[in-house]
Amino acid sequence: LLDPSRFVVFITGATSGFGAAAARRYVAAGGKVIATGRREDRLIALRDELGHDNCHIVPLDVRDRAAMEAAVAAIPAPFDAINIVLANAGLALGLQSAAEADLDDWQTMIDTNISGLVYTVRLLLPGMIARGGGHVVTLGSVAGEFAYPGGSVYAATKAFVKHFALAIRSDLQGKNVRVTDIQPGLTETEFSLVRFKGDEGKAAQPYSDTKAMSAEDIAESIFWATSLPEHVNVNKIQLMATTQAIGPFDIYRE
Ligand code: NDP
Ligand code: 8X3
């Protein structure tokens, strides 16, 4: 296994959920993290918890390409020796059917889950290659594999992430950069609270009377994939809660 004390991990979306859990996991193993996200108060609290020597924070919105370019260019040593990129920031908004969904919601998902993710990867890859290699981990979803009612654009953004992750591997031949797409199913984070725009009642429904996965479960799978020996590339990890399964085909009948 690789020595985790040498990991320097750039994380988008470290203010909550998987990103925050991954930051804690890597620092617990002796690594360093660059924690990013829009909510600066949460980033400051995370840095206070993990320690200034282990956690560097950069408030940013992944949709803002110019801000992303400036942020990546300004990362100080020793945090600039990034060898893992966790392109995790993302969201679902709404669960309306395609003819009723809010186009602004669709745009925000495309801008965040697709544009923000490709900015992150593209901006950090050259430095990682120049330093001898590393690992790109993307956050896809079971939704990128299995469609469900009301999930149209969200699911399609995650299908993009899945294929982008697979495709860039071809470009990275000989560069010692690994690529893994993590595809979780039902996991209790702030994901639903965001999807239902702060409606706590609706947000609780997906997790009620069942056992969902936790952010720590997903962080562990990310940590595992990046800790494997350098000659092993995990293309994708798809995880579901044991309580979750794929439904039947939906046949409309008169
Ligand atoms: P959370 O809502 O708990 O965390 C999402 C993170 O993304 C937050 O830190 C948020 O930070 C950040 N983020 C969102 N928009 C932006 C933006 N424009 N710029 C910068 N950061 C942003 O959700 P999860 O941890 O569950 O989700 C993480 C990823 O995992 C997402 O890509 C999601 O689609 C995916 N996923 C989630 C599943 C689940 O069931 N929970 C299952 C499968 C995939 P801030 O708001 O501070 O900017
Ligand atoms: C998050 C899981 O099933 O809500 O990607 O799309 S799901």
Per-residue pLDDT tens digits for 206-253: 999 999 999 999 999 999 999 999 999 999 999 999 999 999 899 999
pLDDT at position 186: 98
Q: How many CA atoms lie within 13 A of 92 on its CB side?
A: 25
* 248 is a domain residue: no
Q: 151: Cβ below 6 Å to ligand 2?
A: yes
Give the atom of ligand 1 at the shortest distance from the alpha carbon of 43: 47
- Which pLDDT tens digit goes with each residue over 127-186? 999 999 999 999 999 999 999 999 999 999 999 999 999 999 999 999 999 999 999 999
CA distances from 122 to 37, 68, 99, 116 (A): 18, 11, 34, 10
Within 34-91, where are the H helices? 40-50, 65-73
> What average pLDDT does this structure show over 45-64?
98
Give the atom of ligand 2 at the shortest distance from the alpha carbon of 151: 6
Query: What residues act catalytically?
Result: 154
Does residue 237 sit in helix, strand or coil? strand
Q: How many domains does the chain have?
A: 1
Question: How is residue 160 written in tokens?
Answer: 């993009």
* 134 is a domain residue: yes
Compute, in angstroms, the gap from residue 233 CA to the centroid of ligand 1: 24
Question: How is residue 244 written in tokens?
Answer: 């979750």
* 41 is a domain residue: yes
67 pLDDT band, cuts 50/70/90, is very high
Q: 93: Cβ below 6 Å to ligand 2?
A: no
Q: Which domain holds residue 34?
A: 4-185+215-239
Q: 161: Cβ below 6 Å to ligand 2?
A: no
- Which CATH number goes with the domain that contains 84? 3.40.50.720
* 137 is a domain residue: yes
- Which pLDDT tens digit goes with each residue over 88-124? 999 999 999 999 999 999 999 999 999 999 999 999 9
Compute, in angstroms, the gap from residue 141 CA to the centroid of ligand 1: 12
pLDDT at position 236: 98
pLDDT at position 213: 98
* 70 is a domain residue: yes
Distance, C-alpha 218 to centroid of its chain:
10
pLDDT at position 195: 98
Give the atom of ligand 1 at the shortest distance from the alpha carbon of 161: 32
157: left (phi over 0), alpha (psi -120 to 50) or beta: alpha
Q: 88: Cβ below 6 Å to ligand 2?
A: no
pLDDT at position 150: 97
pLDDT at position 189: 98
pLDDT at position 99: 98
In what helix (H) or strand (E) does residue 153 lie, and over which residues does it extend? helix 152-171
- Spatial contact of 16 and 46, defined as CB atoms under 8 Å apart: no
Site to probe by mutation for ligand 1, drawn from 191, 217, 237 as the one with most ligand atoms within 8 Å of Cβ, is: 191
* 191 is a domain residue: no
> What average pLDDT does this structure show over 71-79?
98
* 163 is a domain residue: yes
Question: How is residue 81 written in tokens?
Answer: 């020796």
> What average pLDDT does this structure show over 16-43?
98
pLDDT at position 217: 98
pLDDT at position 193: 98
* 244 is a domain residue: no
Distance, CA of 27 to CA of 44 (rounded, Å): 15
- Measured by CA distance, the residue closest to atom 2 of ligand 2 is 185
